[in-house]
Structure 1
Amino acid sequence: MPTTLHTSELPGLELLHRGKVRDVYVLPGNRLLMVASDRLSAFDVVLPDPIPGKGEMLCQISNFWFAKTAHLLPNHLTGEDVAAVLPDGVDPALYARRSVVTRRLKPLPVEAIARGYLIGSGWKDYQRSGSLCGIRLPAGLQQAARLPEPIFTPSTKAAVGDHDENVSFDAVVRAIGGDLAEQVRVATLQVYRFAASLAAERGIIIADTKLEFGLDEAGQLQVMDEMLTPDSSRFWPASEYREGISPPSYDKQFVRDYLETLDWNKSAPGPRIPAEVIEGTRQRYAEALKRLAGIELD
């Protein structure tokens, strides 16, 4: 059965970072233990109610994609057994399916986003300016329209409680240098095209996805954190897709759509989430995991 974990507690391990979803601990040998909690963030605010089993589902679908894309670029996974690095007295069952041991990389200060469809903040930017991250798009596109080709639309990497902001490719060049920025753009679009093709065979449209990258000690680019999850991507059932609406989805857009009905300024603290929205979100994450990776955790 899936477990529920809002906040990890691992006595004896140094907590390096508690993010919106993941808790990261320091391990010897330049390694990290990354724990995916059941916390849910929306509009860059961590909501008070967890989604039971969400962290397990995120971790399992990330591991699926890390394996599927290993031929495209390296990733941060070491493949080591999580139970072997847990402190004495900690129940391994609570952490086994939601945690990974990783190499400790130097993270790049950019959210690498690939978009194949016009939705979310990209749709709002297009309505205002006809452009997205400095890329001029054709006139007359509707919400959820398929773009002529996938585009790289980076954003800033906000701290917990702050909002990411779409930026131009030139801003990425200024932040990390031209050669590295181009590597990130090429890798992001390559991963997106590969994943979108695989997902299409399983009846799912990947509208967009966000990747994070880091450098190892040799300066090699690696993908890290999570990969093509319902937290970092928009998954639409192909059978229900149409332009002009926010399509039904297997991701946290279900929660975003609920939050948009509230009188909330999208700043912390976040509002409580009704039980039916929590369960509906859990079901959508589970469906994505089942359809994409063939994995059921119930």
Structure 2
Amino acid sequence: PLPPGLRESDRLPAPIFTPATKATSGHDVNVSQVEAGRIIGDQLVATLRELTLELYAFGAAHAEAHGIILADTKFEFGLIGDGGVLLIDEVMTPDSSRYWPKDHYTPGGPQPSFDKQYVRDYLEQIKWNKQPPVPSLPDDVVTRTRDKYLEAFRRLTGKEVG
């Protein structure tokens, strides 16, 4: 359980592992670790938990060293023929993570971010019903989101794109 008294954007005492399953359509479905164990086996859940927390710790330390807080992220794993685990899909991108500038971090409310929250906020502002098709985004929303992604890339890698 989470500690009492947490406010929006407070740091947790330690990273947490929240397994999810792929939905046939729409968003992933969060499941408890017990339910995940019923689906894929307790040993595999333990392995995935360990891998997830190690990957997060590595990414969070890298981001922190570059002035960014890795607030959360998701990883996707697959199984390979010999029973091994493979990290698949995107890893720690602004699409699958929440990155906050450390120098602007103020717990207790929403944070400025280098991720797709800007798009989410726009879609909430226009009261999109979250049913397909997704509305077209205005050029300024696309440009601002791209700029946020590029800034995250620059800060995390020390490089420019292109």
TM-score (norm 2): 0.95
Question: Of Structure 1 and Structure 2, which has the larger fraction of its residues in helix?
Answer: 2
Q: Number of residues paired by the alignment?
A: 162
Aligned match of 2:20 in 151, 155, 172?
155
Q: CA offset at residue 156 of structure 1?
A: 2.2
Equivalent pairs: percent with the same residue? 51
The Cα of 1:192 is off from its aligned counterpart by 0.3
Q: What is the alpha-carbon distance in structure 2 between the residues aligned to residue 269 and residue 182 of structure 1?
A: 38
Segments of structure 1 that go 5 or more residues without pairing to the other structure are: 1-135
How big is each residue's C-alpha offset from its partner over 1:138-188, in whole Å with a ceiling of 9 and x where there is no partner? Answer: 11111111001100012221234x222222111111111111111001100
Deviations 1:6-30 (A, max 9, x none): xxxxxxxxxxxxxxxxxxxxxxxxx
Can you list the C-alpha shifts for 1:172-224, whole angstroms capped at 9, x where unaligned? 11111111111001100111011101110000000011001112221111211
Residue pairs, 1:111-190, within 5 angstroms: 136-160=1-25, 162-190=26-54
Higher strand share: 1
Distance 1:158 1:211 in 2: 15
Aligned to 2:57: 193
Once residues 268 and 244 of structure 1 are traced to their aligned partners in structure 2, the CA distance between those partners, rounded to angstroms, is: 33
Matched letter for residue 209 of structure 1: T
Q: Secondary structure at the match of 2:74?
A: strand
TM (norm. structure 1) is 0.53
Q: After the TM superposition, which segments of 4 or more aligned residues of structure 1 sit over 4 Å from their partners?
A: none
CA spacing shift, 1:156–1:216, aligned 2, 3 Å = closer
- After TM superposition, the structure 1 = structure 2 runs for residues 279-298 of structure 1, keeping only pairs within 5 Å, are 279-298=143-162
| 2:90 equivalent in structure 1 | 226
Amino acid at match of 2:134: G
Distance in 1, matches of 2:140 and 2:65, equals 31
- When Rg is computed on C-alpha atoms for both structures, the one with the higher figure is 1
Greater relative contact order structure (CA < 8 Å, 6+ sep): 1
Tell me which amino acid in the other structure corresponds to 2:38: R
RMSD, aligned α-carbons: 1.2
Paired position in structure 2 for 1:238 = 102
Shift of 1:227: 0.7
Q: Which runs of 5+ in 2 are unaligned?
A: none
